[in-house]
Structure 1
Amino acid sequence: MAPHGTHATRVAIVGAGPAGLLLGQLLTVAGIDNLIIEQRSADYVLGRIRAGILECTTVEALERTGVAARLHEEGLKHHGIELSFNGTRHRIDFHALIGRDVTVYGQTEVTRDLMAARQASGMPIVYEAESVSLHEFDGSRPSVQYRKDGVTHTVQCEFIAGCDGFHGVSRASVPEPSKQIFERVYPFGWLGVLSDTPPVADELIYASHPDGFALCSMRSMTRSRYYVQVPSTEKAGNWSDERFWKTLRSRLDPEAADALITGPSIEKSIAPLRSFVCEPMRYGRLFLAGDAAHIVPPTGAKGLNLAASDVLYLADGLIAHYQEHDANGLDQYSETCLRRIWKAERFSWWMTSLLHSFPDADVFARRIQQAELDYLVGSEAACRSLAENYVGLPR
């Protein structure tokens, strides 16, 4: 008989990305036993290059878990963004419009901080778990099974949190008749380059150009993240650094193009764009959170922030269940999350439609897009709406 181990915990968390790590830390701080199970290695998880714009709610969640010290020391507070079209930049001043801001701090750094906090807490985390599978989550005795170093392990638990991303096992474990999928796949992606060069501007520049969208972002004052829109069929290997910088410069306004400092790329990849929601987000004792339940185009900077919002709702529900014997938070988890998710999906879809070049757009559609941009930068009410959504709607 193959070797087998049995473990017990209150909450089994599948996935050690920022969503799973944040949930684990929130539960640990509240004294709730939990175990994190991750199919990849710690180095792989830490090496993923992702978003870097944090809403106030996400910052507050990290503060609540005691892992925000480095964020406050190294994060960049941004009071607005700039929109570039027709060769001119227009600033949207979040702070003046609504009195709130965002913080630039890379997802890699958030993950690093949460990993360190997990290690310091002494709570268990299993990396490189093979053949992860979820069982009996529609009953009263759910479990997670995995293989590690040739040994099959069964984790008996009371709840399972599926935080293992879009391609993970959690959503896939739910029977098809029990879930409803809403999806839109866009005919383009973002070719992104990370470079150790100073950012071209103090705040992010979102550029709409007839040849395609571009974004000038950053991770610090010495590391920049740039993107250009490319067809969904494009391959990153077809793009030399020289070609990328030339394309980016051509889509920026003259002042930004002249100020752009180029250098060797240290990472280059293409992110496809899609809008995706799976409903509901609870199946018995299995709760989906983050990319396991929803994907947004990166245009609205909502992916990591939505995951943090889900996790806060779930943590509060679990804490109320264990400390106050109150099931309302868990019972309302899916409905509560989805209200916020669909608003973020709407905003991300709107930003994507506003700023990108669509291959099937006719002359009328392009004129409407230009009119929308002109209206936006000329209307305080429209600017306030953008600001409210970008910095994050209230929970």
Structure 2
Amino acid sequence: MLSNYQLGLDYAKQLDKEDELSHYRNQFHIPKDKNGNDLIYLCGNSLGLQPKATKDYINQELEDWANLGVEGHTDAKNPWLPYHEFLTESMAKVVGAKPIEVVVMNTLTTNLHLMMVSFYKPTAKRHKILIESDAFPSDKYAVESQLRHHGYDDKDGLVLWSPRPGEELARYEDLEAILEAQGDEIALIMIGGVNYYTGQYFDLKRIAALGHQYGCKVGFDCAHGAGNVALNLHDSGADFAVWCTYKYMNSGPGSLGGCFVHERHAHNKELNRFTGWWSHNKETRFNMRGEFDALAGAEGWQLSNPPILSMAAIKASADMFNEVGMEKLTKKSKHITGYFEFLLNELNNTDIKIITPTNPEERGCQLSIQVKNADRSLHDKLTASGVISDWREPDVIRCAPIPLYNSYQDVYLMVEKLKTILND
């Protein structure tokens, strides 16, 4: 990112002083070391920090449960029957979708399987699934199991979009070549919107258009994109997308996921799907004896009534995202990540290399630092120095300066610690 960044702690302090989002840091619990000092937490791409408001949001539901019992479904301060609807508008803004296209439900891989029930429709001629070669393991396991479930070989049926030898990032011209050669055999393209390892943010609209050109259905795993980048899912034209909320959306370990189904599918009741009573028409849901009548939109893929305590944690975070807005978040994200990149490059150390794209439009706030002759020792030394980052085999330290709670001083101090360790 082109910017006149400067070296030195005073400059980092000045950036924090000018940061319009800096006060949000005080709305989060920041982990501390044994001496009570704030740790430098750059691991929000793995698990986001807890908003201080989360406890109050959950306690509200605990109190209503204690005081109202089953009547809380209708009489709670936030009635439980429609609770997921309280999240829809905020979540739609986060992922760039229309409210009818979004629902919070289940967990990420469960939602991926539910989407593939509807959008992976293999035939003898067209049954292959295309994913990026270094997809998150859960995605690979899920699509392989779908191939096996439908009676196909999970190796022959899997098409991998791979970086070229000696490179880390996938190229679109290679995807185009794969589709030109095998497009009429590929039933589904399922790509991680932001690659977990490299941090590469793919052009969702370009991939969706390309896949549809060859008659493929197209979906995205946006676990590392939701709350991180401007996904613009509706405009992308993707058939579906799934994501989790415990990374950039700070909803707690293992919390619920989200699901996007493009509005062109919203009223297609002929789409095959697994169903449950929460995907049934709300007006007749409790009649209990009628035939299934699917809800329109993404809600029509729900199965069970929602887990309220987990949704309360999501609401605490979603309300904050709604207050800040993705435009301000992504603006700071690009600037603080550019600053981080500048400081790392100024180290001029050949033992480390950033493999995340340099173009701010092709990444979120994560920078993946590749370590030469890696044996994890550099990461372990960073951890011992008070930096919480994320090691991924075989040779990458992932760091994410989260715009809601990370400061420019966090970034500066992390690089100073890294410099000391590298020079030892």
TM-score, normalised via structure 2 length: 0.24
Q: As a proportion of its length, which structure holds more strand? A: 1
TM-score, normalised via structure 1 length: 0.25
Structure with the bigger RCO (C-alpha within 8 Å, sep 6+) is 2
